[in-house]
Structure formats: C-alpha cells, structure tokens
Amino acid sequence: MEFDTIAAISTPMGEGAIAIVRLSGEDAFKIADRLFKGVGSKSLMDVSSHTIHYGHIVDPKTNEVAEEVMVSVMKGPKTFTKEDVIEINCHGGLVSVNRVLQLVLNEGARLAEPGEFTKRAFLNGRIDLSQAEAVIDLIRAKTDRAMNVALGQMDGRLSRLIRKLRQEILEILAHVEVNIDYPEYDDVEEMTHQMLLEKSRYVHKEIEQLLQTSQQGKILREGLSTVIVGRPNVGKSSLLNSLVQENKAIVTDIPGTTRDVIEEYVNVRGVPLRLLDTAGIRETEDIVERIGVERSRQVLKEADLILLVLNYSEKLSEEDQNLFKAVEGMDVIVIVNKTDLPQQLDMEELNEIAKEYRIVTTSLKEDEGINELEEAISSLFFSGAIEAGDITYVSNSRHIALLNQANRSIEEAISGVESGTPIDIVQIDLTRSWELLGEIIGDSVHESLIDQLFSQFCLGK
C-alpha cells in the first residue's frame, strides 16, 4: 500500500519538556532533510537507520533558525507504521513546536488525522485491530493497573487467545465438512458429534472466562464511577479534596472530548475512581433534597460506588434514612465524618441500618481515617488480591459485545448438536462465531468501522 506523508505533534499539548513532531510516509526523509541543518553538512538522506542527530531546523525561505532539535531517522519497515519515520524532538514550548510543524507542512507533508499513525500501522499489517485499540486505551490509561491491561493487549495477549479459539473452531468446522462429504460413514458422524461437543464447550468456557474479566477490565479502563452523597455540610467536598490530594492521579488530557461534568480521577491503591467534581457534588446535594424523584435515583443507580457521608456530631435524620433507601443494593461505603466533634450519632442504630455495608469513621479536619477508607475501597473491588498482569482482561466495549455474540452462536451450536439438529445448520452457527471472533482482531471488519475507531485517537498517535 502507498500513502502520502503525514505529520503531527505526537506529544501532549501544553507545557511538556520535550515535544515531538512525527512524520511518516514516503517523503518523510526528504522533507526533514530540506529543513535540517546538522553539524558539518550532514544530510539525513545518508545516515544509517535508527540513529539520532543533533542540529537545527531552519526555515528555507528566511534561513532563520526555528528550533534546536534532535532528529530520529527510522527507515521502514522496522517502524511503528512500517513506513519511513522521522521524529523531530524539540525542547521549546508550544510556539516553536508549532513552527516546526508548520515548516514540515510547508514542505509537503499533510497534517495527520487523529489516530492516523496507528491506522497506518494497522493498514500496513504492523498491528491488529485489538492492538490498535489498545493504543487508544494506553493514551487514556489513568492508573498503573489500567496501563498494564492496555500494554498486555497491545502486546497481543488478547489477540493470541482469540486466534487460538478461532483455530479450535476451524478444526471443528473441518470435521463437520468431512461429515457432510461422507455421510455414509456412521462412525464418522458419531465421532464428529462427540468432538464437536467437546471442542465447542471448551471454546464456550474460554469465552465465558474472558467475559468475566470484562467488568473489572472496564473499571480499570474507565475508572469506577463514584458518587459522594450526604446531607449538606457533612463534609462531602472535604472528602473529595482529601482523596484528590492524597492520590494525585496521572491524568492524560484527551483533547476533543466534551464532558458535561468535570470529573476528578484519583487512583486509590490501584483502583481508579472517577469522582464527580464540585459541579457534580453540588448536583448530588440537590439529589439529596429531591430524593424520591425518579431522575435523581437514576443518577445514583448508574454509579459503581457510593460514598455515603454522615455527620458524627448529629443524630441520624430522616434525610439520612432516605439516602440509605435510595442506595439499597449498591456498593456502598458509609463514612461517619467529624469524629473530632462531640458524638450525637447513635452508632448502634447506624450499625443496624447499615449492616450490609462497610462503615469507616473519619475526621477530615484532623486528617484521620482516610487510610481506612482507602483500604475499604480497594478491598471492595480487588478483594486485595487481583494482579492485572496475570490475567487476559477484556475491557473494550466493542470486544465485549462481539464476545457475547460469538458466545451465543457457540451456545446455539452446542444445543443444536444436543438436540440432533442437522449438522449443516450447526455449521452455520460455528462459522458465525468464527467470524465474530475475527472482528475483534480486525480480520473481517467493515471499512467505516475502521475509520470510526481510529478517529477516537488523539492527534499525533
């Protein structure tokens, strides 16, 4: 395949120490060479591949130095896109990086669309679709654990498992084919049924296991949607602030995403929480007032975790009781705050009402109890034990949907064999599940889907 030469700033926008302008395509070397003035009169066209060169980017029109740079020269196909790649490392701020990019575009490169580098890697056969999607996840990964899941996926862990399952299905299909071609041999039919059931059940079991990881995978990827509720003045905003202060999250900014609510991401012992920011908190305060209103219940129901805050220095009120009713059946941690003040709250009464929940006492003012709260959060979701590195997780909702569909086709096939359905009907279900699994790794994907997927990337990736 042949493509034009694309370029973009491939590091996050803003005040990074280094910014990289990346070029990929046939003319990448030529374009960079026209702008680069190295030590002596070294030309980038002559240097060996995968080397870095110090020099300056000079505007050919004015002969002005635009930026002091290190240029990496990488000849395809041993590059991310499999094409010739140039990376210009600039150390100036946004202005000079943009100037370098502008010069590169003047010399004939085209500004890359979001995700276009990764898309090329996919189209040039460098990575498969699930690996490309892992790049999206990597950009968005908020915590170490999420990062490991994405890395594992990029590494092809999920792809390998999917390939193995497809291979199993192919083997079944091959046997079915023999059976259809030689229907006169009874023992072949007998064997086929036996083998078909065994192998289908095995594939079914593997997919089920993978799907079981999806909830945790999704949480790792997107963060646990966490709503702090409680009456006015119990300390909700204080709680949000302490969690944010103690657990500064690595937040990667995703340009172009619009959010109604400003969210705070915090990483509590490996559990990424997506907390509602002040705007959202104010909304939950409203929720308290309007409890019983259907919409507000809905907001609560969509949360993965509820932090229900009470005031130690006040008696349990009817409002508190209503809150407990509203969050019934959810994952709730009860926080009894303001323990530095004289006790008014009846702990026995509370233990009765909240007997299904973990109760943590805090004094946010005195900085007490935060550790216990963090411990409660982490043990609630990881039972303290799960290591993302050991398991193949599936966390991408497209993958999950396809796995579910493939699983249903396998189930159809199994119950078909069990109830004596003609084997060529069973064959259809098996073929369908083979195709669905293929879509995960991009073996049978529609072109527009590919465009849509890659447009989710940041510019420059």
**What does the block give as tokens for 305?**
């975790």
- Shortest CA distance to 325 belongs to which of 352, 287, 297? 297
- Figure out which of the listed residues 11, 214, 363, 396 binds ligand GDP, where binding follows CB under 6 A: 363
Whole-angstrom distance, CA of residue 197 vs CA of residue 424: 15
CB-wise, 107 or 285, nearer to Zn ion?
285
Q: What is the closest distance, in whole angstroms, from the C-beta atom of residue 307 to ligand GDP in the complex?
A: 11
Does position 364 interact with ligand GDP (CB under 6 A)? The reply is yes
Whole-angstrom distance, CA of residue 348 vs CA of residue 201: 51
Instruction: Using alpha carbons, list the distances in angstroms from residue 439 to 132, 136, 332, 405, 406.
Output: 13, 17, 38, 11, 10
Q: What is the closest distance, in whole angstroms, from the C-beta atom of residue 311 to Zn ion in the complex?
A: 13
Does position 250 interact with ligand GDP (CB under 6 A)? The reply is no
Whole-angstrom distance, CA of residue 54 vs CA of residue 88: 10
- Shortest CA distance to 395 belongs to which of 197, 20, 140, 203? 140
- Figure out which of the listed residues 102, 215, 238, 378 binds ligand GDP, where binding follows CB under 6 A: 238
- Subset of residues 203 to 232 that bind ligand GDP, contact rule: CB under 6 A: 230, 232
Contacted entry of ligand GDP, Zn ion, none for residue 230, CB cut-off 5 to 8 Å set by kind: ligand GDP
> How many residues of this chain interact with ligand GDP, rule: CB under 6 A?
15
Does position 234 interact with ligand GDP (CB under 6 A)? The reply is yes
Instruction: Using alpha carbons, list the distances in angstroms from residue 161 to 151, 152, 213, 407, 415.
Output: 15, 12, 14, 15, 24
Contacted entry of Zn ion, ligand GDP, none for residue 341, CB cut-off 5 to 8 Å set by kind: ligand GDP
CB-wise, 338 or 432, nearer to ligand GDP?
338
Name residue 159's amino acid.
S
CB-wise, 296 or 337, nearer to ligand GDP?
337
CB-wise, 322 or 452, nearer to ligand GDP?
322
Contacted entry of ligand GDP, Zn ion, none for residue 232, CB cut-off 5 to 8 Å set by kind: ligand GDP
Kindly state the DSSP code that residue 67 receives in the 8-state scheme: E
CB-wise, 235 or 442, nearer to ligand GDP?
235
CB-wise, 317 or 452, nearer to ligand GDP?
317
- Subset of residues 220 to 259 that bind Zn ion, contact rule: CB under 5 A: 236-237
State the virtual CA torsion across 23, 25, 30, 36 in degrees, nearest 10: 10
Q: x/- site string to ligand GDP, residues 388 to 427, per CB under 6 A? A: ----------------------------------------
Q: What is the closest distance, in whole angstroms, from the C-beta atom of residue 343 to ligand GDP in the complex?
A: 12
Contacted entry of ligand GDP, Zn ion, none for residue 233, CB cut-off 5 to 8 Å set by kind: ligand GDP
CB-wise, 283 or 443, nearer to ligand GDP?
283
Whole-angstrom distance, CA of residue 227 vs CA of residue 236: 10
Q: What is the closest distance, in whole angstroms, from the C-beta atom of residue 15 to Zn ion in the complex?
A: 31
Whole-angstrom distance, CA of residue 88 vs CA of residue 36: 10
Q: What is the closest distance, in whole angstroms, from the C-beta atom of residue 284 to ligand GDP in the complex?
A: 9
3-state secondary structure 193-217: HHHHHHHHHHHHHHHHHHHHCHHHH
Quote the distance between the C-alpha of residue 152 and its chain's center. Answer: 12
- Subset of residues 300 to 359 that bind ligand GDP, contact rule: CB under 6 A: 337-338, 340-341
Contacted entry of ligand GDP, Zn ion, none for residue 238, CB cut-off 5 to 8 Å set by kind: ligand GDP
- Shortest CA distance to 19 belongs to which of 82, 67, 84, 83? 67
Q: What is the closest distance, in whole angstroms, from the C-beta atom of residue 279 to Zn ion in the complex?
A: 11
CB-wise, 79 or 284, nearer to ligand GDP?
284
Angle at 83 between CA 81 and CA 85, to 5 degrees: 85
Q: What is the closest distance, in whole angstroms, from the C-beta atom of residue 379 to ligand GDP in the complex?
A: 23
Does position 233 interact with ligand GDP (CB under 6 A)? The reply is yes
Helix (H) or strand (E) holding 19: strand 19-24
Q: What is the closest distance, in whole angstroms, from the C-beta atom of residue 101 to Zn ion in the complex?
A: 43
From edge to edge, which strands make up the β-sheet containing 36-38? 36-38, 51-58, 65-74, 85-90, 19-24, 6-9, 110-111
How many Cβ atoms are within 10 Å of 129's Cβ, its own excluded?
A: 22
- Shortest CA distance to 459 belongs to which of 111, 128, 131, 125? 111
> How many residues of this chain interact with Zn ion, rule: CB under 5 A?
2
Q: What is the closest distance, in whole angstroms, from the C-beta atom of residue 287 to ligand GDP in the complex?
A: 12
Q: List alpha helices for 129-248, DSSP H.
A: 129-140, 144-154, 157-181, 186-212, 214-222, 236-246
Q: What is the closest distance, in whole angstroms, from the C-beta atom of residue 302 to ligand GDP in the complex?
A: 21
Q: x/- site string to ligand GDP, residues 365 to 384, per CB under 6 A? A: x-------------------
Q: What is the closest distance, in whole angstroms, from the C-beta atom of residue 159 to ligand GDP in the complex?
A: 46
Strand, coil or helix: what is 142? coil
Instruction: Please name the residue that has the structure tokens 């990337």.
Output: 457
What residue ranges bind ligand GDP (CB under 6 A)? 230, 232-238, 337-338, 340-341, 363-365
What residue ranges bind Zn ion (CB under 5 A)? 236-237
